[in-house]
Structure 1
Amino acid sequence: MSNAISIFDTTLRDGTQGEGISLSADDKLKIAKKLDQLGVQYIEGGIPGSNGKDIEFFKRVKDLRLQAKIVAFGSTRRKDSIAEHDSNLNQMINAGVQAATLVGKSWDFHVHTALQTSLEENLAMIYDSIAYLKHKGLEVIFDAEHFFDGYKNNPDYAVAVLKKAEEAGADWLVMCDTNGGTMPHEIHSIVSTLTHQLGAANLGIHTHNDCELAVANTLSAVQAGARQVQGTMNGYGERCGNANLCSIIPNLQIKLGYDCIDEEQMQQLTNTARYISEVANVHMPVNQPYVGNAAFAHKGGIHVSAILRDSRTYEHIVPELVGNKQRVLVSELAGQSNIVSKANELGIEFDPDHPRTKEVIQKIKDLEHQGYQFEGADGSLELLIREANGEMKELFNFESFKILVEKSAGQPSVSEAFVKINVDGNSVYTAAEGNGPVNALDNALRKALIQYFPNIKEMHLSDYKVRVLDEKDAAAAKVRVLIESQNYQNSWNTVGVSGNVIEASWEALVDSMRYALIGKKKSDFAPDVQEHQGIINL
């Protein structure tokens, strides 16, 4: 049996059914291009004719000249009709794609209840639809909806559905765990049986995550003989999501020895996952396996001391295999090994016995005692270490800020911020509005900096969290503000603490801007500011 696995991505179709996910045609084209670079074999783009965005996508995607096959999605013909007259099928054909996914019922309960037709007519609908698409020259992937529920209820009919699809010429027979309620041992047993009945060359698996078993169920199906895997990036999808390709691909290839994508493409997995989360404007869980920001993060001093000797002590793979990296978190629980490791990661030489190292550790402990938390604020931590090492030059000096908030009856509130900073001896005073005080401050500071550092426009704030540190102090309590910022290449977190939420937000905001700029070389900036003294020479 071949070890080659065909990766079928349905982020642009099934993934967009997830709550809070809405992609424009431009967004879908960007993601399709990124998925193609990752090396997936199929990209399901949507339902032709269902909405303007999908119509535009199928029209424009041809110009990208992707290696992956672009797939249109649709359902079998309507009951008691003719395939040639079915508008859904004809729209799939007219989309100009190479392949089509056709979904059909395989659970007799659904045939009677949802379609309200006979089992024989459902088989005819499947056969006629697939035969028509094959006659038009399309590769056909048949998704047997609710297959495992159907098999457990009426195995003879569920198998008959697959056989009818195969008889009509379907290239792939995909078994769907549509409700996401099947267990891994059931998946393995059923797929193994079908492998012997139908052969394994064209069997596929499509699972949902309602029991948090979509990845496990997919792996079970592959080990039982399935050779096409359907899923979404970051597990996006309806209800609890679809099978997460970011976990499935490395599990299959690195852990189980199957061939999914090239090794070089595997190293783009983390970047691809984070890029797609950015385009989709969906926050990516830090603890997501393989590609999450915390997937290879270490905090405890004993752990860090061990990984400095050999990373295999606390890491199941080399992070770079999937394009991720090892991170050392620094907190009040950490010893000097964490500081040294973090400094080494930044290319800074820190002698464990040097008084400066102990001073940084003590400063971090003092700040955490005040309420700072650096394991979730790598950006602020890096700035702190570089300052301690004498590497930092001030990009700008803060002079003052002022905020006005106006609320009129029946109208939304409007915030206006006035910021005054000094850049290389030049006083800069700006004002900007925002939908809240922090947004107004962000806009005003960005407006002041962009004339000196044009690349600041590349970054933006992607998340904002406030936590009250001392609830017993009520309204007078200190707060900790954590800001996440992103561009298309990176994300970072910064922290601020104060008894005033605006001041804490400003502190985290300033660190976010400083961090965005420390990695920039002089050549990255406009010619008229390349000699600006505030640019750090790293």
Structure 2
Amino acid sequence: MIELYDTTLRDGTQREGVSFSTEDKLNITKKLAAAGIDYVEGGWPGSNPKDIEYFRKVRELELENTKIAAFGSTRRPGIKADDDMNLRAIVDSGADVATIFGKSWPLHVKEALKTSLDENIKMVASSIEYLKARGMEVFFDAEHFFDGYKSDSDYSIQVLQAAAEAGADCLVLCDTNGGSTPDEIGSIVRVVKDKVSADIGIHTHNDAELAVANSLVAVREGAVQVQGTINGYGERCGNANLSSLIPNLQLKYGYQVVTAEQLKRLTATSRYVSETANLLPPAHMAYVGESAFAHKGGIHVSAVLKNASTYEHEDPETFGNQRRVLVSELSGKSNLRYKAEELGIELNDQNENLQEVLKKIKELEHQGYYFEGAEASLKLLLERARGEYEKLFSLESVRILTDKKETNDPNSEATIKVLVNGERVHTAAEGDGPVNALDKALRKALVKFYPEIKEIALVDYKVRVLNGQDGTAAKVRVLIETGNGDETWGTVGVSTNIIEASWQALVDSIQYGIKFKASKEAV
């Protein structure tokens, strides 16, 4: 059995430009668990308030068979494990699993740690013993292992043997600089398997564009745990990409790493993480990319329409993707039915609105809408199409003024007129910015009719420019994350006017919250 270990929330955030809020991390954790990930590395407890909050809140999530891992280093040189604040923080996190990294390359021991080779081995052993004594499952990440092995194989093996003897549950061999090749990885893993009596894991980086290949070779040579990140996010050139590793392991090598239903969630998970990171989903990524099964050439299209296997190595629906013909896009009924079922809406081929819904979604996505990170907007769209949408309020007008003086921060005021149950409400509110003022004014207008709106609060707000070549006239996509204290939901708006895009996402977030979440009704 191969274990899947995800480090998107820690290693993935080391990618330039990526930062997740606590709510982002919790939502991604739920997606990873639903996709069948065995271990989710939540971060480095004690290093910052965000990770401390994450480990406190993640205990409240129901994650089925997924375990949460806390990351950290071995104890510092010259002190006891009991006195090391980093190790204490790992235990205090409440995580089931501790993943600690230690040096296995003499260069790093001498130059980075400024300690002796013997002391480094003692640091590894005593840290693992400390954590095991407190009932934790412990993984030891042998940092820079492959470079260390190529420099001094005897010492690198001694480090692993000390970790195994101390009780480590898995020894994870790390290609931290990402410069090793598959033949090197394979031969070294074979030696390790012969000399160390413990489970072996693999953690590779993509600096030579070989992270996925190196991970697969390691598994073929006996590694039982694969570490990586969704979409390969990570520092420099990134980490091994679980979005391609998972289907490769399951479909090409025959390892049963997830269920068929979990595998079908892979594309949605990949795109959700992209949207949450405020990055464009990689269109040409294997298996999950929008272009992975897109056909443009006339001969290709003709053949695929007769028999898809002529130009496709796998069925895209196996992992939740869909085939696309770029001249006349094929319908995605099965994908829409699957998503509707996940959102608690029944759709079938006989539903007279199904084709209309598909057409509407494609039109909106062409305009720049993207629903993987905005499932609340998608659910409202489906309900509108089925004639089951009850509009809670409608806008008559809104005016937003921003006052800026050279010596002061800008101040915004929103004046709004809305119709609620036939009654016109006219109110105003000030905010730190135009969207904040708009949000406050709308809530002020609605609270008399829907007092449950007090339970709903904006959690996150992201803006992405969709066509940057148009400069300040560019179209933007706004993603809003809203919460009620227990859970969050995402909504989307698109326009060349950032206020209009924000209004669209804001209205959906409040409509959805009042209808489905303020009463704690499940999706």
For residues 393 and 65 of structure 1, the distance between their equivalents in structure 2, rounded to whole angstroms, comes to 31
1:326 alignment partner, one of 313, 316, 322: 322
How far is 1:5 from its partner? Answer: 0.6
Structure 1 counterpart SS, 2:154: helix
For 1:212-361, what aligned pairs fall within 5 Å after superposition? 212-273=209-270, 281-287=276-282, 289=285, 294=290, 298=294, 300=296, 312=309, 316-322=313-319, 324-326=320-322, 334-335=327-328
Root mean square deviation, CA, Å: 5.3
| CA-to-aligned-CA distance 1:272-322 (integer Å, 9 cap, x gap) | 5556667xx422432264786736674859577776655556654444433
Instruction: Summarize the Cα distance change of 1:440–1:235 in structure 2 as closer, same or farther, 3 Å threshold.
Output: farther
Please give the TM-score of this superposition, normalised by the length of structure 1.
0.69
Structure 2 counterpart SS, 1:126: helix
Instruction: Summarize the Cα distance change of 1:87–1:377 in structure 2 as closer, same or farther, 3 Å threshold.
Output: closer
For residues 39 and 192 of structure 1, the distance between their equivalents in structure 2, rounded to whole angstroms, comes to 28
> Quick check: 2:369–2:494 contact (8 Å CA) kept in 1?
yes
> Quick check: 1:140–1:170 contact (8 Å CA) kept in 2?
yes
> Quick check: 1:376–1:493 contact (8 Å CA) kept in 2?
no
| 2:113 partner letter | L
Q: What's 1:208 paired with?
A: 205
> Sequence identity of aligned pairs in percent?
46
For residues 73 and 394 of structure 1, the distance between their equivalents in structure 2, rounded to whole angstroms, comes to 47
Runs (5+) with no aligned partner, structure 1: 365-371, 528-538
1:147 alignment partner, one of 114, 138, 145: 145
| CA-to-aligned-CA distance 1:515-535 (integer Å, 9 cap, x gap) | 8899x8x986999xxxxxxxx
For residues 274 and 281 of structure 2, the distance between their equivalents in structure 1, rounded to whole angstroms, comes to 12
For residues 445 and 263 of structure 1, the distance between their equivalents in structure 2, rounded to whole angstroms, comes to 44
2:403 alignment partner, one of 406, 419, 423: 406
For residues 480 and 323 of structure 2, the distance between their equivalents in structure 1, rounded to whole angstroms, comes to 18
How far is 1:107 from its partner? Answer: 0.8
Instruction: Summarize the Cα distance change of 1:267–1:457 in structure 2 as closer, same or farther, 3 Å threshold.
Output: farther
Instruction: Summarize the Cα distance change of 1:166–1:310 in structure 2 as closer, same or farther, 3 Å threshold.
Output: same
| 1:207 partner letter | T
Structure 2 counterpart SS, 1:242: coil
> Quick check: 2:211–2:241 contact (8 Å CA) kept in 1?
yes
For residues 466 and 28 of structure 2, the distance between their equivalents in structure 1, rounded to whole angstroms, comes to 32
> Quick check: 2:439–2:506 contact (8 Å CA) kept in 1?
no
2:181 alignment partner, one of 183, 189, 198: 183
Q: What's 1:531 paired with?
A: none
| CA-to-aligned-CA distance 1:131-158 (integer Å, 9 cap, x gap) | 4544555433221111111122222322
| CA-to-aligned-CA distance 1:60-99 (integer Å, 9 cap, x gap) | 6556576444444333343344445545445545656544
Matched, 1:374 2:374: no
| 1:245 partner letter | L
Instruction: Summarize the Cα distance change of 1:438–1:22 in structure 2 as closer, same or farther, 3 Å threshold.
Output: closer
Q: What's 2:119 paired with?
A: 121
> Quick check: 2:106–2:152 contact (8 Å CA) kept in 1?
yes
Farther off after superposition, 480-489 or 173-182: 480-489
Structure 1 counterpart SS, 2:366: coil
How far is 1:130 from its partner? Answer: 3.3
Matched, 1:6 2:14: no
Structure 1 counterpart SS, 2:245: helix
Please give the TM-score of this superposition, normalised by the length of structure 2.
0.70
For residues 266 and 429 of structure 1, the distance between their equivalents in structure 2, rounded to whole angstroms, comes to 50
Runs (5+) with no aligned partner, structure 2: 338-346, 372-376
For residues 96 and 335 of structure 2, the distance between their equivalents in structure 1, rounded to whole angstroms, comes to 51
Number of positions where the alignment pairs a residue of Structure 1 with one of Structure 2: 488
Instruction: Summarize the Cα distance change of 1:47–1:98 in structure 2 as closer, same or farther, 3 Å threshold.
Output: same
> Quick check: 1:273–1:291 contact (8 Å CA) kept in 2?
no
Structure 2 counterpart SS, 1:165: helix
For residues 378 and 182 of structure 2, the distance between their equivalents in structure 1, rounded to whole angstroms, comes to 43
For residues 89 and 160 of structure 2, the distance between their equivalents in structure 1, rounded to whole angstroms, comes to 24
For residues 304 and 384 of structure 2, the distance between their equivalents in structure 1, rounded to whole angstroms, comes to 26
Q: What's 1:463 paired with?
A: 463
How far is 1:257 from its partner? Answer: 1.4
For residues 8 and 335 of structure 2, the distance between their equivalents in structure 1, rounded to whole angstroms, comes to 38
Structure 2 counterpart SS, 1:79: coil
Instruction: Summarize the Cα distance change of 1:426–1:374 in structure 2 as closer, same or farther, 3 Å threshold.
Output: farther
For residues 21 and 102 of structure 2, the distance between their equivalents in structure 1, rounded to whole angstroms, comes to 26
Structure 1 counterpart SS, 2:244: helix
Instruction: Summarize the Cα distance change of 1:81–1:416 in structure 2 as closer, same or farther, 3 Å threshold.
Output: closer
Instruction: Summarize the Cα distance change of 1:146–1:297 in structure 2 as closer, same or farther, 3 Å threshold.
Output: same
